[in-house]
Chain A
Amino acid sequence: MKRRGYEILEHPADLGISARGESLQEAFEEAAKGLTAIILDPATIRPQTALPVSITASDREQLLVRWLSEVLYLFDGKRFPCAEFTIHELGPTWLVATVRGEDLDASRHHTRLDVKAVTYHQLDIQEFAGQSRVRVFLDI
């Protein structure tokens, strides 16, 4: 198994993401990739425009939910699908990142599923030296 990556998880009504990386940063980045792949085909997104993202939260779980909610909002509210995610700094309650994508082009970007929201349901964050893992479920 690759050291970083994501899998889509089953839930009776919805979908989840299990993401891993050598660091928690990588696991968070992979989770964002997983979310994008649920919404549309990431291969169709040109990472031509960079946007800075900074997020604060009251705890680590909320930080993960807010990070993924940001990616969802960029797609749904700003019509800006993202393909690349780089987290520069990740603290217990904040993160600073750059995301890269482009403005939505309905002729090339075919949405697979509407994701309604990122949930706290069975949310799990495990951080170990050399291998971190996060799990999050989405409302579809």
Chain B
Amino acid sequence: MFTRIDRYRHLIPKSYKAGMLIDGLVFADEHLLPQIEADQTKEQVANVATLPGLVGRSLAMPDAHQGYGFCIGGVAAADLDEGVVSAGGVGFDINCGVRLLSVPAAAGDVADRIEPLIHQLFRDIPCGTGRKGALSLGGRELDGVLCDGAEWAISRGYGTEDDLTRIEEHGRLGSADAAAVSNRAKERGHVQLGTLGSGNHFLEIQRVDEVYDERVAGVFGLRQGQLMILIHSGSRGLGHQVCTDYLDVMHDGMKRYRMSVVDRQLACVPVGSPEGERYLKAMAAAANFAFANRQMMTHWTREAVQRVLGIDGVRVVYDICHNIAKREAHAVGGRRTTLLVHRKGATRAFPPGHPELPADLKDVGQPVLIPGSMGTSSYVLVGTELAMQETFGSCCHGAGRAMSRTQAKRETSADALMRDMKGMGIHVRCGSRAGLTEEKPDAYKDVSRVVDVVHNAGLARKVARLVPLAVMKG
């Protein structure tokens, strides 16, 4: 059972399961905890705690649900000398993430243009599954994407240098090495750059519905009633194949290092091992692919906004990674040390003053973007010092799934869902009708409750709430 620390913190002590080396900690309230207990999340948090060389606690955010090996919504930090890196601890969709754009217009002033705008975006951004993107890259060009991320996209005319300061890691992980990415991964990726993807990926036109913190919202560039666009996408087939490749590399490597894990999806190797180093280079390359992907979609979004609304000046509010492992400086036991922080379905949430933040955000902290499920609110929060102390500067990433895809499809038809969304005044464009019902709003946890838990627990503070006006899904 959980040991309750306070209303929002629930400990899984080391004694819970044989082999646990550290405690687990789940952030949830009395409503979300039973949902987390209903699947294998707790066991997965405990399983992660059996991996060697982890520091602090094995963490689960309030949106956590059962994943593969690691839960979705999990955070685990490894010591660089004693600890391990796990491809499963990052997940298949490397640098799946969200990017929020602000349009310099009040949503109310362009209400009659929202529907044409979502149609234009649907035409301009290839979204569906198995489709080619707008461009097909040669090998050398793809290597440029993998090494330079969003910088590559900007060098090819997709956006401006100003965009980079508002992207986690400035849109480029410098440790990337295209040679660590298999040809197979590159083949899966080379026609998919600049595509949204399907599943839970989406693009949403939104309005700022409520501002909780005027000062921070002002610094982020958010105003009550403002028109916003949120893009949720990742590294597509390239990242998925990198994870597939390195799960096997790590599985075979474990024999060499005489390691074993309780679940094969937790396959891991020492951080500094040749296999570990090579994975991190490939993962960084896949992350850069995702940064470039979101940058290109930003460019096409700007073009669509210009064409339909006649408005320029769409700005990047922020772009954050959901699935990533990164070397970061943290204080452990009063000592500064560098750790490898795995975030799987979790976001970075750095506080005011953090050296990684750009000058204009240093006084307030990092924007934390938390998209809701289709048709529900999304939130912008800001990072806190407490998150640095408790969660390695991490926060939740979304609503978190509560219902299986098959159950969602059984309970709702695409027609009924489209009708419901229309009734709420939300325009929907989708590539796959079956895929649409699988993403219906109540297939997810209540995002407002998830956000209240991180806000009340002090991991991040609410800045603004955004409501959807139109949705585009793969």
Chain A interfacial positions (CB closer than 8 Å to B): 8, 10-15, 39-40, 58, 61-62, 66, 69, 73, 75-79, 104, 106, 109-114, 116-121, 123, 137, 139-140
When the two chains form their complex, are residues A140 and B199 in contact, meaning their CB atoms are under 8 A apart?
Answer: yes
Tell me the residues in window 386-412 of chain B with beta carbons closer than 8 Å to chain A beta carbons: 401-407
Q: With A114-B197, A116-B240 as given contacts, are A121 and B131 in contact (CB-CB < 8 Å)?
A: no
Q: With A69-B244, A76-B188, A112-B129 as given contacts, are A119 and B68 in contact (CB-CB < 8 Å)?
A: yes
Chain A contact residues, majority secondary structure: loop
When the two chains form their complex, are residues B128 and A111 in contact, meaning their CB atoms are under 8 A apart?
Answer: yes
| Least Cβ–Cβ distance between B213 and chain A, in angstroms | 32
Q: Is B84 an interface residue (CB 8 A)?
A: no
| Least Cβ–Cβ distance between B7 and chain A, in angstroms | 25
- A39-B130, A77-B237, A111-B198 given. 17 additional CB < 8 A pairs? A12-B402, A13-B67, A14-B405, A73-B241, A79-B191, A104-B130, A111-B129, A111-B130, A111-B431, A114-B198, A114-B199, A117-B240, A119-B68, A120-B263, A120-B264, A121-B265, A137-B68
Give the most central of A8, A61, A79: most B CB within 10 Å.
A79
When the two chains form their complex, are residues A75 and B130 in contact, meaning their CB atoms are under 8 A apart?
Answer: yes
When the two chains form their complex, are residues A106 and B65 in contact, meaning their CB atoms are under 8 A apart?
Answer: no
When the two chains form their complex, are residues A58 and B251 in contact, meaning their CB atoms are under 8 A apart?
Answer: yes
Sampled A-B contacts (18; CB under 8 Å): A10-B405, A12-B402, A12-B403, A13-B66, A13-B72, A15-B406, A58-B251, A58-B252, A62-B251, A76-B188, A77-B184, A77-B187, A110-B432, A114-B198, A116-B92, A116-B93, A121-B68, A139-B92
Q: With A10-B406, A76-B237 as given contacts, are A123 and B243 in contact (CB-CB < 8 Å)?
A: no
A119 neighbours in B (Cβ, 8 Å):
68, 265
**CB contact between B407 and one of A10, A61, A69, A110 (< 8 Å): that residue:** A10
The CA of A8 and the CA of B410, in the complex, are separated in Å by 13
The CA of A117 and the CA of B242, in the complex, are separated in Å by 10
The CA of A111 and the CA of B130, in the complex, are separated in Å by 6
A77 neighbours in B (Cβ, 8 Å):
184, 187-188, 237, 241
B198 neighbours in A (Cβ, 8 Å):
111, 113-114
By beta carbon, the residue of chain A nearest B402 is: A12
When the two chains form their complex, are residues B406 and A117 in contact, meaning their CB atoms are under 8 A apart?
Answer: no
Q: With A77-B237, A118-B244, A119-B265 as given contacts, are A112 and B434 in contact (CB-CB < 8 Å)?
A: yes
Q: Is B458 an interface residue (CB 8 A)?
A: no
When the two chains form their complex, are residues B65 and A13 in contact, meaning their CB atoms are under 8 A apart?
Answer: yes
The CA of A112 and the CA of B128, in the complex, are separated in Å by 9
Q: Is B39 an interface residue (CB 8 A)?
A: yes
A69 neighbours in B (Cβ, 8 Å):
244
* Nearest 3 interchain pairs by C-beta: A111-B129, A77-B187, A120-B264
Q: With A10-B405, A113-B432, A117-B240 as given contacts, are A73 and B188 in contact (CB-CB < 8 Å)?
A: yes
The CA of A77 and the CA of B132, in the complex, are separated in Å by 11
Q: Is B62 an interface residue (CB 8 A)?
A: no
The CA of A50 and the CA of B434, in the complex, are separated in Å by 30
Contact with A along B199-219 (1 / 0, CB 8 A): 100000000000000000000
B240 neighbours in A (Cβ, 8 Å):
116-117, 139
The CA of A123 and the CA of B251, in the complex, are separated in Å by 15
Chain B interfacial positions (CB closer than 8 Å to A): 39, 65-69, 72, 91-93, 128-131, 184, 187-188, 191, 197-199, 237, 240-241, 243-244, 247-248, 251-252, 263-265, 401-407, 431-432, 434-435, 438, 474
The CA of A139 and the CA of B474, in the complex, are separated in Å by 16
Give the most central of A10, A106, A113: most B CB within 10 Å.
A113
B431 neighbours in A (Cβ, 8 Å):
111
A112 neighbours in B (Cβ, 8 Å):
129, 432, 434-435
A106 neighbours in B (Cβ, 8 Å):
130-131
B199 neighbours in A (Cβ, 8 Å):
113-114, 116, 140
B67 neighbours in A (Cβ, 8 Å):
13
**CB contact between B406 and one of A8, A66, A109 (< 8 Å): that residue:** A8
B191 neighbours in A (Cβ, 8 Å):
79
When the two chains form their complex, are residues A113 and B129 in contact, meaning their CB atoms are under 8 A apart?
Answer: yes
The CA of A120 and the CA of B403, in the complex, are separated in Å by 22
**CB contact between A113 and one of B92, B237, B434 (< 8 Å): that residue:** B434
When the two chains form their complex, are residues B248 and A62 in contact, meaning their CB atoms are under 8 A apart?
Answer: yes
| Least Cβ–Cβ distance between B178 and chain A, in angstroms | 16
| Least Cβ–Cβ distance between B378 and chain A, in angstroms | 19
By beta carbon, the residue of chain A nearest B410 is: A10
When the two chains form their complex, are residues B188 and A117 in contact, meaning their CB atoms are under 8 A apart?
Answer: no
A113 neighbours in B (Cβ, 8 Å):
129, 198-199, 432, 434-435, 438
By beta carbon, the residue of chain B nearest A109 is: B130
When the two chains form their complex, are residues B68 and A114 in contact, meaning their CB atoms are under 8 A apart?
Answer: no
| Least Cβ–Cβ distance between B194 and chain A, in angstroms | 15
**CB contact between B92 and one of A10, A61, A117 (< 8 Å): that residue:** A117
When the two chains form their complex, are residues A120 and B129 in contact, meaning their CB atoms are under 8 A apart?
Answer: no
Give the most central of A109, A111, A137: most B CB within 10 Å.
A111
